[in-house]
Structure 1
Amino acid sequence: MSWLTAPGHLLVCDLDGTLLRSDTSLSDAARDGLNALVAAGVAVTVASARSTAAMRPMLPGVDLRLPVIEHNGAYISDLRTGEHLITNALDAATAGKAVELLGDPIVTTWDGARDRVHFGPELNTGAGWFIAEKRRYADPRLTETADLHAVADREQVVMLCSYVPDDEAAGVAATVQAAVGEGARVWAALNAYSPGWSEVVVQSPLATKGAAILELRHRLGLAGEITACGDHVNDLPMFAVADRRVAPANAQPEVRAAASVVTGANDDDGVVTYLLDQLAILRREAEQ
């Protein structure tokens, strides 16, 4: 029996830069490959900084049956309904302090009845790209809000994201981290879709892809190995808990360095091709 189909094995793949091509599309070949893995009995799911509202139109025809990890581990959710099975939110005081320091971030929340993405009336180029993308697929969460600080007081904040020039991002992230201390995890990362603008992200310390994978595995009653596939620094926490770490050739340098295997690039469906090749090889070996 192959490691992909071994009892208790869990395969978790990032979306942007890993399964998705650089234009954010999922190729027909990748779709068919993912469905072939599911049909072969592989326990497959995805872990993304995106929401279920964004994932659904990006995964047309993919037969994902397991809960998914959204917003870097802020939620474990049912992909079809968007129901949150697990929520890791910031406490109100920490969220309020981060809003104050970042000035005009994009604030992702749960208001007790629905998911929301709050944004102010003035958007820089980086944040404008983010909101424009959400408008293209009619994201129902979008909510223009004048007083973002009030949002932090009345709703569960699961993520704050501020777009800052690349050369300022590390400094901004360090300032916010120093101010919020252990109440949040803050990091900066380049945004491939909006050149020149980096994301400064603030989330609960519990909201990581790695912690979410371990929680999901526990909830599913799985006890086998974990294979994680990713390209970005927010994928490193899931690499840290994985037995097998797969990165496409386009992955950021620190992600490639942490990988067990580097495949072809995302625009060539490198990760799915590698997984299908491994499934075929291991099946042939089992038959010999």
Structure 2
Amino acid sequence: MSKIFITDLDGTLLRSDQTLSNYTINTLNTALENNFIVSFATARGLVSAIHVVSNIAWKHPVILYNGALLYDVAKNEVIDGYMLNDELSNEIIYRGKRHQLAPFCFLLDADNKERVHHEKLTTFGMIEFLKSRTNDPRFCEVETIECSPSFSTLALTYIGELENLLPLKEEITADLGDRVNCHIMKDYYIENQYFLEFSHPLASKKEGLKLWASYMGVETKDICIFGDNLNDLGLFEAGGKRIAVSNSHEDILRLADKVIGSNDEDSVAQYINAYLMVAQESNNR
């Protein structure tokens, strides 16, 4: 019986309004109290992730920035990660500006604190994203985006309409190839907007899961995975049992070993609770 679970957040564990029900909170906390290993793998950074799941007493490492960072929430420290080098980061930024695009630059400073640098925002998607992060201390407007040795680059993220992002994606993919990891996906919360993200070639949830498993001393085949979107494909490729919520992208649904209810139906928590009840019944015998 599996007792190791890793779930995506947005579109999977979180409801469509970016909240968790009391049922999900209580179920996951009970599972953790009963020595189940429950963690998450998300495109979010630590501050953003903890903001929406703070009512759960996470005690195992978490996978952040789509696999770029492995973080120990119990000790509040970085364990490991995959950073994009400065030269390549600045090359991407330069090419983006030729397309009239500037990114959010997600960074770690010398003390491993999260920072997000951006130039003055002028496009709808970027402005709306920042509005959703009101009072987030990570964000800082700078005159000119430039990566330097003072910071480690986790990801360069562009937000906009698909037709405006695709030319940059195609150029970077063609010219920089396997030197950079690139993925594009529709924004969950801003209508008609897409994320285009560039990061280290190994900064994927697949490699993040391998790093997590190695640190935890477990086999990836023993991990039960929950996901819904294209950035979860790597989790499904590397993990053990693959569980898709019903609102998942068709590529995720095709790979799933089992499809459960939607993210708005406490489906992940219900699935884990079934295992929890079996374990508790066994202990009571």
In the superposition, the TM-score normalised over structure 1's length comes to 0.90
- Equivalent AA in structure 2 for residue 49 of structure 1: A
Contact 1:74–1:204 under 8 Å retained in 2: yes
What is the SS of the residue equivalent to 1:255? helix
User: Does the alignment pair 1:197 with 2:196?
Assistant: no
- Equivalent AA in structure 2 for residue 110 of structure 1: L
Distance of 1:250 and 1:167 partners within structure 2: 25
Structure 1 vs Structure 2: percent identity of aligned residues?
24
Contact 2:12–2:263 under 8 Å retained in 1: yes
How many residue pairs get aligned? The number is 279
Aligned to 1:258: 255
Aligned to 2:119: 120
User: Does the alignment pair 1:187 with 2:187?
Assistant: no
Check 1:233–1:155 CA distance in 2 against 1; reply closer, same or farther (3 A cut).
same
Q: Deviations over 1:184-218 (max 9, x none)?
A: 11111111211111111101011111211111111
User: Does the alignment pair 1:227 with 2:229?
Assistant: no
Contact 1:56–1:80 under 8 Å retained in 2: no
Contact 1:56–1:79 under 8 Å retained in 2: no
User: Does the alignment pair 1:172 with 2:171?
Assistant: no
What is the SS of the residue equivalent to 1:229? strand
Q: Deviations over 1:166-194 (max 9, x none)?
A: 24444432222222222111111111211
1:34-49 equivalence runs, <5 A: 34-49=28-43
What is the SS of the residue equivalent to 2:202? coil
Contact 2:58–2:74 under 8 Å retained in 1: no
Which of 45, 61, 67 is residue 67 of structure 1 equivalent to?
61
Structure 1: segments with no counterpart, 5+ residues: 5-9
User: Does the alignment pair 1:131 with 2:130?
Assistant: yes
Contact 2:242–2:257 under 8 Å retained in 1: yes
Distance of 1:242 and 1:147 partners within structure 2: 40
What is the SS of the residue equivalent to 1:85? strand
Structure 2: segments with no counterpart, 5+ residues: none
What is the SS of the residue equivalent to 1:217? helix
Give the Å deviation of 1:153.
Answer: 6.0
Q: Deviations over 1:229-288 (max 9, x none)?
A: 111111111111111111111111111111111111111111211221244357668989
In the superposition, the TM-score normalised over structure 2's length comes to 0.91
Which of 84, 90, 104 is residue 84 of structure 2 equivalent to?
90
Distance of 1:256 and 1:125 partners within structure 2: 31
